[in-house]
Amino acid sequence: MREINSEQIKEKVKELFLKANYYIGEDVLNSIRKALNVEKSETGRYVLRMILKNYELSANEKLAICQDTGLAVLFIKLGQEVHIKGNWKEAINEGVKEAYIDGYLRKSAVTDPVFDRKNTKTNCPAIIYTDIVPGDRIELLVNPKGFGSENMSALAMMKPADGAEGIVDFIVETVRKAGPNPCPPTIIGVCVGGTADQACVLAKKAAMRKIGEHNPDPRYAKMEKDALERINKLGIGPAGLGGSTTSLWVSIDYVPTHIAGMPVAVNICCHADRHAHGVLYGNKKDKYSIN
Ligand code: SF4
């Protein structure tokens, strides 16, 4: 049994949210650089250059990549041989609060979503998904999620007979309807299967798969390629100003589902594709990486 102090969790959460908000992943950077070579629209190329400049400024000046610094979402793998000393939920929220206050990141969380809509001024509460897994470490994947893109999410409870073609149609239609709203070029995360709620959570996680990594199942990989090709023919382009770079990548994951259904969730992530991954081993070693 390894002991991990809640203070260490707080510090790690704070560090990861700051890094996610200041630094973009290499895969996104490279993908935008590549798009610059193929984008035919002059305005589109201008927007891509501005996006690259923005990433550079954010990293050098330690400034938020975007003014919408997102709701704080965390995916946590908690080793079953870890004993946490202290209150871990409080520690996570404290880490989020400190990151957003000390890092001058916009606080975007409101209390009651319909009537009061009062800013909590801490960007809390964080949205936490926890998996208990074998092992003696804690893995954290943090995702500050902006709402220009989150608002464009979609769920379809499809019929099994709709098949792969129906799913790809739904993905492309979701991106078409979103138009310029999710700040293209976007990254599209999809999950097929499970229940409605499970599909939505896993679609968000799929959007964080590294650009360039296809689903290992060639049938799903083909759907990813087909969807991306069709999306980039929609003409939406960078910032929605026209062009062939509407999305950088489509990641489709799947989970088992019920015989009578085929839920399909689409989560759209903007070019401010922020996430950071870290591992806590307690006092012995502690690792961090951006993707
Ligand atoms: S969708 Fe993304 S890039 Fe657009 S405003 Fe929101 S966080 Fe920023």
pLDDT tens for residues 21-42?
Answer: 999 999 999 999 999 999 999 9
Domains contained in the chain, number: 2
| 183 within a domain of the structure (yes/no) | yes
Structure tokens at 27: 């895969």
Question: Ligand 1, residues 149, 151, 152: which to mutate, most atoms within 8 A of Cβ?
Answer: 149
3-state secondary structure of 118: coil
Helix (H) or strand (E) holding 56: helix 42-61
For residues 137 and 15, membership in a common domain is answered with yes
Ligand 1, closest atom to CA 69?
Answer: 7
**Are residues 115 and 243 both part of a single domain?**
no
178 Cβ below 6 A of ligand 1: no
pLDDT at 1: 87
Q: Which ranges of the chain have pLDDT less than 70? A: 282-291
Q: Which two tokens stand for residue 250?
A: 């489509």
Q: Could you tell me if residue 38 is inside a domain?
A: no
| pLDDT for 285 | 54
104 shares its domain with 162: no
Residues 107 and 140 in one domain: yes
Q: Is 268 in the pocket of ligand 1 (CB under 6 A)?
A: no
The answer to whether residues 137 and 202 belong to one domain is: no
Asked whether residue 284 is assigned to any structural domain, the reply reads: yes
pTM beyond 0.75: yes
Which 8-state DSSP code applies to residue 134?
S
**Same-domain status, 109 and 10:** yes
Rounded to whole angstroms, how far apart are CA atoms 141 and 129? 10
Of 32, 55, 68, the residue with max ligand 1 atoms within 8 A of its CB, to mutate for a pocket test, comes to 68
Two tokens at 144? 């500050």
| Residue 182, ligand 1, Cβ within 6 A | yes
Tell me the residue range of the domain where 246 lies.
148-269
**Does residue 77 sit in the same domain as residue 218?**
no
Is ligand 1 within 6 A of the CB of residue 148?
yes
Percentages (nearest 5) of helix, strand, coil residues in the chain:
40, 25, 35
